[in-house]
Amino acid sequence: MKQNKNYSEEDLQNLLQNMPEVEDRQTSDELYQKISSRLNSVEPEKNPFYKQPWMIATVSAAAVLIFLITTLSWVFDGTYNTADQGAESTNEDANIQEKQESSSKSPGEAEDNSDSGGSTEDQAGISSIAPQEEDESKESNSENAQSGDSSEENDAKMSEIGGNRKLEQSYVFLKRPHDQFATVAVIGANSKSVIPVTVIAPPNWGSVNEVYNSISKSVRAKDWGVQEYAFKDVQFNIKKDQNSVIADFPKGYTLPQGKAQEENFLTSLREMFRPHGIETIKLQKNGNEGLSFENLGEKKEVSIQELSNKAYLLYQKEENKPAFLTPVSLDDKNIENALNTMKNGLAEKTIKPVIPKSVSLEFIEKKGKTLQLTFSEDTTFGEQPVAMIEAIFMTAKSFGYTEVKLNNAPNQHYGRYNLNETVQVPDLLNPQPFNYPPGTGP
């Protein structure tokens, strides 16, 4: 049949009448059953996951858990802060109480605590070598407070040397078996004084030879007010089994001019190696034996004798420079003359008396290896008592004494020294800090 959209009503009626007949022979029950079976076979629509009953329960439990965690963390944080604040408060209360107790102590007790814990004289750093002494006004107050210290306590105060440890503000110290040290000898500016200065390397830093061959880095001639170190480029090789050292000077090395300068040059070498028990210094130049001096002639080796009959005074170029104890030769070689020289000084301005005019000696007693000095009642030790005491010790050592007893001193304690007891003479002079050569620092 050809389709045509312009049918008339009559045409439509004719078309409907001519359509084939359709007959449904199903009963009503059969039709009902078919429709019912189709409805039952259709699957019900599923709910999305967020509408499931288990999802609601899970979300509720998670919310409760988060709430508990947040609440507990806040509670514990508050507890810890309270504990910390309580500890801080306790520390502050303890500090306040300690300050109140210290302020209520007598001047003698306060000075006693200073000596045992952190006094500038007992535990000062190595940056300063000249001791800052106690004022005379403090001497009488500290005498009774410090009288109970034992020699063992004083020995415990001996400062460690080397590395990051502190040196006591002192001009001397005792040698210890494990120390690797080097003694350099520098000459005072415009003077004939030969000043021994000792530098101790940190533990396990290197051998004695390595310390000596790098020691020029530790010599600060300009800061010290002395002449330049004369042996900067010299290689030293210590042979302890032979009690000797080889000093090998480089090929272009210039020797000093003038007889006095040449003698000071050789004296400096002796001062450097005497503390190690060296007896002979063998001189070489570029590996060849001997050095030729203009006035002293050729020297193949230098003998080292025990340092004897010297008086120790203070060398100081200027007030803003450090002071050093330095040995001075005597014409009249006895201990009485040495002590007088230490009190009267020399004509040279840079060499200063170490015993003040206010010191008066009543007795000088020599008992074997012990020197005993007894002071008069009106004696005062002046502004630098530690320097004076240590100079006396070193002077006594040069005269063969191993111990010194100072009687009737104005105060029984100066620095680390307990003058109630006999004191052993020290070994080494003028401690100075060790400076690491490039690339060898900690």
Residue 332, token pair as written in the block? 């009249």
What's the confidence (pLDDT) of residue 393? 97
What does the pLDDT look like over 6-30, one tens digit per residue?
Answer: 667 777 777 777 776 666 667 777 7
Task: Give the number of other CB atoms < 10 A from CB of residue 162.
Answer: 21
What's the confidence (pLDDT) of residue 214? 92
Nearest Cα neighbor of 314 from 63, 130, 90 is 130
Asked if 424 and 345 count as a contact pair (C-beta separation under 8 A), the reply is no
What's the confidence (pLDDT) of residue 366? 93
Half-sphere exposure (CA, 13 Å, Cβ side) for 364? Answer: 11
What's the confidence (pLDDT) of residue 435? 87
Backbone phi, then psi, for 191, in 5-degree steps?
A: -145, 170
Q: Give strand pairing partners of 311.
A: 328
What's the confidence (pLDDT) of residue 287? 94
- DSSP-derived secondary structure letter, 316: -
Asked if 328 and 355 count as a contact pair (C-beta separation under 8 A), the reply is no
The segments of the chain whose pLDDT lies below 50 read 1-2, 75-168
Nearest Cα neighbor of 142 from 426, 419, 423 is 419
Asked if 135 and 87 count as a contact pair (C-beta separation under 8 A), the reply is no
- DSSP-derived secondary structure letter, 226: B
Instruction: Give kind and range of the element (H or E) at residue 83.
Output: helix 53-104
What's the confidence (pLDDT) of residue 15? 76
What's the confidence (pLDDT) of residue 52? 61
Distance in angstroms (rounded) separating the CA atoms of residues 191 and 236 = 26
User: Measured in whole angstroms, how far is the alpha carbon of residue 80 from the centre of its chain?
Assistant: 37
Instruction: Give kind and range of the element (H or E) at residue 328.
Output: strand 324-329
Asked if 236 and 246 count as a contact pair (C-beta separation under 8 A), the reply is yes
What does the pLDDT look like over 76-105, one tens digit per residue?
Answer: 444 444 444 444 444 444 444 444 444 444
Asked if 352 and 191 count as a contact pair (C-beta separation under 8 A), the reply is no
Domain boundaries, the chain: 49-104, 108-164+309-429, 180-305
What's the confidence (pLDDT) of residue 140? 38
